[in-house]
Amino acid sequence: MIVLEAVSKSFIQGDESIPALANISLHVKRGECVVLKGPSGSGKSTLLSLIAGLMQPSQGEVRVDGKEISKLPEHFSAAIRRQKIGFIFQKYHLIVHLSVLENVMTPLIPENLPLHVLEMKAKAVMEQCGIAHKAKMRVNRLSGGEQQRVAIARALINDPLIVLADEPTANLDEKLSRALIDELAILKEKGVTLLIATHDPLFFDLGCVDKIIEIHNGEIIV
């Protein structure tokens, strides 16, 4: 389902090349739940962004559901994200002047579905995430935990084959964190592939987690 072969990523700052990932090889099977464990700055978020096609590796190959996405133009990467991937961002990336409902619907707008279908799908995942009662509220009036739940609902609206979650409990209290974990476990039972970057210890002893991979300084610790 997800394959990385000898992947490295560096960022250019001025005249300097800053390594973020070094020679990462990783295989995640369909329906697996994999936790990426490591401190902030270890490369977890960069790894998820490469899998989502939000950036391209400096070296190596990334394949998602049999498709190499390492060198795809952005419009092709965006199409794959819409069709296959739900991404729960650490910093939400919500559109602040839009309502909760409008934010949740945005991933499906390019599909040209009728408005009533979009609203039906959005309301279903909002109910699932406990945010349906805030549907008409602008997201900049929500608490951090509420904004995170909007971001989770948005990630689930396209019934993704893969869910990538970057520190998904960072702004949730323990009760909401456990509710999110329960929802992720249900997704796994449905065959969704989960890749979760976190340093939250709640994830480290879960029965639904198939393996934990530790990353430090851009390298997998064996």
Query: What b/e readout covers 50-64, taking b as 16+ CB neighbours within 10 angstroms?
Result: bbbbbeebbebebbb
For the stretch 156-192, pLDDT in tens is: 999 999 999 999 888 788 888 888 888 899 899 999 9
* Of 141, 114, 120, 143, nearest in space to 132 by CA: 120
Q: Name the pLDDT band for 6 (thresholds 50, 70, 90).
A: very high
Q: Name the pLDDT band for 128 (thresholds 50, 70, 90).
A: confident
Q: How far apart are CA 111 and CA 147, in angstroms?
A: 24
* Whether CATH 3.40.50.2300 fits 2-221: no
Q: How far apart are CA 148 and CA 173, in angstroms?
A: 11
Q: How far apart are CA 52 and CA 129, in angstroms?
A: 23
What was the pLDDT predicted at 222?
64
The domain locations on the chain are: 2-221
* Better-scored residue on pLDDT, 73 or 138: 138
What was the pLDDT predicted at 196?
97
Given a cut of 70, whether residue 195 has pLDDT beyond it is yes
DSSP alpha helix (H) spans, the chain: 44-51, 74-84, 100-105, 115-128, 144-156, 174-189
What was the pLDDT predicted at 145?
83
Q: What is the mean pLDDT of residues 132-160?
A: 91
For the stretch 10-62, pLDDT in tens is: 998 888 999 999 999 999 999 999 999 998 889 999 999 999 999 999 999 99
Percent of the chain with pLDDT over 70: 100
Q: Give the chain's mean pLDDT.
A: 92
For the stretch 94-115, pLDDT in tens is: 999 999 999 999 998 888 889 9
Given a cut of 90, whether residue 148 has pLDDT beyond it is no
What is this structure's pTM? Answer: 0.90
